[in-house]
Amino acid sequence: MRTARRDGLAVGLATAAYGISFGALSVASGLDLWQTAFLSLVMFTGGSQFALVGVIGAGGVAAGGSAIAAAALLGVRNVVYGMRMRPVVGEHGLAHRIAAAWVTIDESTAVALAQSTERAARVGFWVTGIAIFVGWNLTTLAGALIGDALGDTRAYGLDAAAAAAFLGLLWPRLTKLQAGATAVMAAVVATIATPVLAPGLPVLVAAIVAVAVGWFDLFRRREGA
């Protein structure tokens, strides 16, 4: 139980640090302070937030449709997390369920799944979720204020920081050959599509790679070979 609480707070602190980069990148992409804060409060799922401001930063509001689709597609994994967390949080009222769904993200699910007892899993889930929610929103504000004060953010390399941030979100997922092959092919497809398609669309076209690889289970190294 104590481990679950400590894990949750540690992960919460580490994750909250990302909020600074999100806030700064969001205002660099052209969103204002309120819009940036709203995303962290309501959307509250880092990958989708970074994707939304990434697509808007590259294509402007004209690429809004692609930005929404990219954010939603990156949020699909939260459906899987919700199904896994439902028995962990237990059967309660609607408000309780909505709150649980709200804080269902990579980190809260990961800490919950790492615990050995059911009670510790529940404590880990809530402590991580709430710690990140509070920290993420505070650091988003700080990052947005810093980004606002910087002015032209390209001179400070914030566009490169955005790519580095996405790489940081991707890196822990590249443990298997299948994920690595998917990543490389998706990057190639998006690059080739960039001069041909409207801004935002190359990212969505690359999603087809995931569907094809996942459907046919390609590039799976046989276990125990």
107 vs 128: CA distance, rounded Å: 7
Choose among 134, 108, 133, 136: nearest CA to 4. 108
| Residue 9 engages other proteins in binding (rule: CB under 8 A) | no
Tell which one of 211, 221, 223, 225 touches other proteins (CB under 8 A).
211
Q: In the complex, what is the shortest distance from the CB of residue 2 to other proteins, in angstroms, rounded to a whole number?
A: 24
Please say which residue, 124 or 129, places its beta carbon nearer to other proteins: 129
Site for other proteins in 33-62 (CB under 8 A): 35, 38-39, 42-43, 45, 47-48, 50-52, 54-56, 58-59, 61
Phi, psi of 176 (to 5 degrees): -115, 155
113 vs 107: CA distance, rounded Å: 10
86 vs 101: CA distance, rounded Å: 9
Please say which residue, 30 or 119, places its beta carbon nearer to other proteins: 30
Q: In the complex, what is the shortest distance from the CB of residue 141 to other proteins, in angstroms, rounded to a whole number?
A: 16
| Residue 11 engages other proteins in binding (rule: CB under 8 A) | no
Binding flags for other proteins, 154-193, as an x/- string (CB under 8 A):
xxxxxxxxxxxxxxxxxx-xx---xx--xxxxxxxxxx--
Please say which residue, 2 or 151, places its beta carbon nearer to other proteins: 151
| DSSP characters over 125-175 | HHHHHHHHHHHHHHHHHHHHHHHHHH-SGGGGTHHHHHHHHHHHHHGGGTT
| Residue 14 engages other proteins in binding (rule: CB under 8 A) | yes
Burial 149-168 (b: 16+ CB within 10 A, else e): eeeebeeeebbeebeebeee
Site for other proteins in 57-116 (CB under 8 A): 58-59, 61, 64-65, 67-68, 70-86, 89, 97-98, 100-102, 104
Q: In the complex, what is the shortest distance from the CB of residue 60 to other proteins, in angstroms, rounded to a whole number?
A: 9
Please say which residue, 134 or 168, places its beta carbon nearer to other proteins: 168
Task: Give every CB contact of residue 113 below 8 A, 6+ residues apart in sequence.
Answer: 84, 121
Please say which residue, 127 or 203, places its beta carbon nearer to other proteins: 203
Site for other proteins in 113-152 (CB under 8 A): none
